A and B are shown apart, each in its own frame.
Chain A
Amino acid sequence: MSATPTIGVLALQGDTEEHLAVLRGLGVDAVPVLRPGDLDDVHGIVLPGGESTTMSKLAVRYELMEPLRKHVREGMPAYGTCAGMILLADRIVDGAAGQETVGGIDMTVRRNAFGRQTESFEGPVAVDGVDGPPFDAVFIRAPWVEETGPDVRVLGQVAHGDRAGRIVAVRQGGLLATSFHPELTGDPRIHRLFVDMVKGQA
């Protein structure tokens, strides 16, 4: 793996630009991924926040779903935020009828688990393996992880309130997922962890 990896950000819908900006701030060559061929040129892929059903439909329509599955299966590191977490889940609850995922993380994710937008919130989440204070985590119509398989490491849980203990950050091998959106707060620590994973250093 070269010193400066190229990391793609799925650009079908959602906050692609924010992810590209954080990654570029870390000195990474970050590029939008819109066509199946774009995946051949990247060392890792970020699946951004957005509307998971829309993203999933567009991924199928633009023939990105199968290539994404293939690359993830063959070991391409991937990081999903919010809708991206749903895309990386092997199983989803409360998805739209026939909603497909890329899969890869042995977990069940509940879509919109924290409720509608009026219940969306921000609050502190400590992430295992990331130094410093807890993240100021922004949750937007966010999912949570309902159940994990034996190979999945739970990295973060909601700290306060009636949702305390809900799992919101996980890792399985080269795959990382958070229910919240570090790309919206300008805190680059989770992206840095992902870049290190892509470099094979974490």
Chain B
Amino acid sequence: MTNTAENSTASTVGTTRVKRGMAEQLKNGVIMDVVTPEQAKIAEDAGAVAVMALERVPADIRKDGGVARMSDPDMIDGIVEAVSIPVMAKVRIGHFVEAQVLESLGVDFIDESEVLTPADEAYHIDKWAFTVPFVCGATNIGEALRRIAEGAAMIRSKGEAGTGNVVEATRHMRSIRSEIKRLGTLDEPELYGAAKEMRAPFDVVKEVARLGKLPVPLFSAGGVATPADAALMRQLGAESVFVGSGIFKSGDPAKRADAIVQATLHYNDPEVIAKVSRGLGEAMVGINLDELPDGQRYAGRGW
């Protein structure tokens, strides 16, 4: 991997280690979608490790339709002002100018997200060109490794955002996890074959085979609505979770946010998950995916 600080004695910003290191610091913590400074405060008070600033949560993007874009800089500034934890924000796939804008606003992490309407049908953003780290979604190992090759410092499952339905995130986590395991069993010629099959650079494929995990943190996102959902993702190998519409589309956001933080941490302790799951009020209603027309599926965006 490129590392501009190698052989250098001066201080260097935006190195691979600084970007991936930032992602490592977020592990075990919950990242919550927020649309107002007030929600950002609620998330911070509940123990969120970072907030994702956006104009509409995915559930509303689905409802409203139309083109979904980067948020208004005023709105992002308002959230950056309101909290002291890291702030993330989303750009459209391939929209490197939106990314330049967010970097200039001082956001701490950019999500190149399929939840927004893609801006480029062929290419994702060259993420090495930025100082700010990026997280990208993936449905399988090939997609994850292509994003890492483009410079992503964190990978998350895509899931199917804004549905409150965790089934797609489960599929993506299981797929990524089993492919990582398979890579570990292959010899060198087979790894060349796997790289070709996965349409991913050989050196990244080989690194994953050697490490037995991705070289960047793997989180889960898309459809997490309950504490048990969050714990399910952790037990399937996610190092932590993003919660989008699930919190602020529910009956008691502060309580649910707190419960999801606790379940994410104590994901192997059913007693804790049972305790925090009590009396949470209504969860977001949710959408059955077989009722969702193909054109409204976000997970298929990106390549």
Q: Do the two chains bind? A: yes
Chain B residues in 8 Å Cβ range of A136? 5
Complex contacts, B106 vs chain A, CB 8 Å: 116, 118
Given A15-B24, A160-B11; A118-B29 close (CB under 8 Å): no
- Are A51 and B13 within 8 A (Cβ)? no
The segment from B41-49, B227-235, B242-250 that touches chain A is B41-49
B137 contacts A by Cβ under 8 Å: no
- A1-20 residues with Cβ-Cβ distance < 8 A to B are 11-18
Q: Among B15, B17, B21, B26, point to the contact of A51 (Cβ < 8 A).
A: B26
B: interface residue count bin: 35 or more
Q: How distant is B212 from chain A, measured CB to nearest CB, in Å?
A: 13
Determine whether A49 belongs to the interface, using a CB cutoff of 8 Å to chain B: yes
Given A140-B22, A161-B11: A54 in contact with B29 (beta carbons within 8 A): yes
Whole-angstrom distance between the Cβ of B271 and the nearest chain A Cβ? 12
Interface check A50, CB cutoff 8 A: yes
A113 to B96, CA, bound (A): 29
B131–A118 touching, CB < 8 Å: yes
Stretch at the interface among A119-127, A145-153, A191-199: A119-127
Q: Are B13 and A54 in contact (CB under 8 A)?
A: no
Q: Are A54 and B265 in contact (CB under 8 A)?
A: no
Q: Give the distance in Å from the alpha carbon of A181 to the alpha carbon of B17 in the complex.
A: 10
Question: Which of A83, A119, A158 has a CB less than 8 Å from the CB of B13?
Answer: A119
Number of A-B contacts (CB under 8 A): 129
How many angstroms between the C-alpha atoms of A121 and B10 in the bound complex? 10
Known pairs A13-B265, A116-B106, A116-B108; A54 contacts B21 (CB<8 A): no
Indicate which residue in A11, A83, A95, A160 contacts B28 across the interface (CB closer than 8 Å): A11
Interface size on A, residues (CB 8 A): 46
The chain A residue sitting closest to B240, CB to CB, is A13
Per the bound structure, the CA–CA distance linking A18 and B21 in Å amounts to 10
Closest to B266 in A: A34
Q: A193 to chain B: closest CB distance in Å?
A: 21
Residue in contact with A140 in the complex, picked from B18, B50, B265, CB distance below 8 Å = B18
Q: Find out whether the CB atom of B85 lies under 8 angstroms from the CB atom of A13.
A: no
Decide: B49 and A13 in contact? CB cutoff 8 A. Answer: yes
Chain B residues closer than 8 Å to A68, beta-carbon distance? none
**Nearest-CB residue, chain B, relative to A180:** B21
Which residue of the partner chain, among A49, A53, A116, A159, contacts B25 with CB atoms under 8 Å?
A49
Shortest beta-carbon distance, A80 to chain B, in Å?
14
A130 at the interface (CB under 8 A from B): no
Chain A CB within 8 A of B145 CB: no
Cβ of B72 to closest chain A Cβ, rounded Å:
20
Pick from A118, A120, A160, A184: contact of B9, CB under 8 Å = A160
Q: Contact at B85–A184, with CB atoms within 8 Å?
A: no
- A121 engages B12 (CB within 8 Å): yes
* A112 CB within 8 Å of chain B: yes
Task: Give the docked Cα–Cα distance between A112 and B11 (Å).
Answer: 17
Whether A118 lies near B48 (C-beta < 8 A) is no
Contact with B along A150-187 (1 / 0, CB 8 A): 00000000111101000000000000000001001100
Give the distance to chain A from B172, nearest Cβ to Cβ, in Å: 22
The answer to whether A141 has its CB under 8 Å from any CB of chain B is yes
Separation in Å of the A163 CB from the closest CB of chain B?
8
Which residues of chain B are near A83, meaning CB under 8 Å? 25
B15, B20, B28, B29: which has the most chain A beta carbons within 10 Å? B28
Given contacts A13-B29, A118-B106, A141-B108, contact A51 B14 (CB under 8 A): no
B171 near A: Cβ within 8 Å?
Answer: no
CB of A26 within 8 Å of the partner chain = no
Contact call B11/A141, Cβ cutoff below 8 A: no
Verify A111–B84 contact, CB threshold 8 A.
yes
Interchain CA distance A54-B85 in the complex, whole Å: 8
When chains A and B are docked, how far (Å) is the Cα of A112 from the Cα of B85? 10
Q: List 23 A-B contacts (CB under 8 A).
A: A12-B28, A13-B265, A14-B28, A34-B265, A53-B84, A53-B85, A54-B49, A111-B84, A116-B86, A118-B103, A120-B14, A120-B18, A123-B5, A123-B9, A123-B10, A139-B18, A140-B25, A141-B22, A160-B9, A160-B11, A181-B21, A184-B17, A184-B20
